Amino acid sequence: MSEKKQVRLISWNVNGLRAVLKKDFFDSVTGMDPDILMLQETKLQENQRSDQMIRFGDYESFWNYSTVKKGYSGVVSYTRITPDAVTTEFGKPEYDGEGRIIRMDFETFVLFNIYFPNGQMNDERLSYKLAFYDWFLDYTQKLRDEGKSIIVTGDFNTAHNEIDLKNPAPNAKRSGFLRIERDVLDKMVDMGYVDTFRHFYPEEVKYSWWSYRFNARKNNAGWRIDYFFVTRDLIENGIIKAAFIDNDIFGSDHCPVGLVVAV
């Protein structure tokens, strides 16, 4: 029986791909050495991509763009491992138009790169965010019913528990830490998903996003809102080897989060 290869997955909300390219992006990627790199909030249209963005190193790239507003949302997945299939349209115009999801199918699992909606603007966007969560969990449940294993990563725009943000009490009535949003992550756990970082580090305080205001990153007044959630079978079968948050990578108001899997 051949030994399984360990594959590094990295997820990073770059808050504008053009902006992060000016901030040692390629050096950061080289240092992290991901086999699959998933970026959120690229803020690009298709015709704004440079050749360097489309293909660098030995990565091929798969993109999804917002068609409802320019300079908004958008995700890209770079991979050294050619997927069996890639999906960017899901038959839901209200979600497809914002360019938030890339699904990549591999032999061992289905991998989702997602920029989940932010609910802070108003009640309408909060409702949109909650409906998006519900739709996505229904969508992936159908895949699970077919026997597929799932990895979901990206910016969830919600801190799960008090350990996951610096100042929980003052933020309890702010979107991103509302009980109704946190309940969705509770539901994911109840459905058999595992927060991989918390699985390996139950008590560790570490964040993945900091406001640009108030010297938040310098003071480490952050939130953990970027995750790798996986179906429990991947844990039980020994596929998930490690999870991490790389606070030493700068260039965005988020830092990268990672997962090591054996395939």
Please, are residues 86 and 75 in contact by the beta-carbon 8 Å criterion?
no
Q: Does residue 41 have a known ligand-binding role?
A: yes
Task: Say which of 115, 133, 207, 227 is annotated catalytic.
Answer: 115
Amino acid identity for residue 149 in this structure: S
The set of long-range contacts for 131-136, using a CB threshold of 8 Å and a minimum separation of 24, is 132/95, 132/100, 133/184, 134/184, 135/92, 135/95, 136/101
User: Mind spelling out the 3-state secondary structure of 95-115?
Assistant: HHCCCCEEEEECCCCEEEEEE
CA pair distance 175, 182, nearest whole angstrom:
10
Q: Does residue 13 have a known ligand-binding role?
A: yes
To the query of whether residue 254 is one of the catalytic residues in this protein, the response is: yes
To the query of whether residue 115 is one of the catalytic residues in this protein, the response is: yes
- How many alpha carbons lie under 13 Å from residue 182 in its C-beta half-sphere? 18
Q: Does residue 155 have a known ligand-binding role?
A: yes
Residue identified by tokens 């086999």 is 35
Contacts of 111 (CB under 8 A, 6+ apart): 9, 36, 38, 83, 103, 104, 105, 151, 153
To the query of whether residue 248 is one of the catalytic residues in this protein, the response is: no
Task: Say which of 155, 164, 195, 226 is annotated catalytic.
Answer: 155
Which amino acids are annotated as binding site, given as ranges?
13, 41, 155, 157, 253-254
Catalytic positions:
115, 155, 254
Which amino acids are annotated as binding site for Mg(2+), given as ranges?
13, 41, 155, 157, 253-254
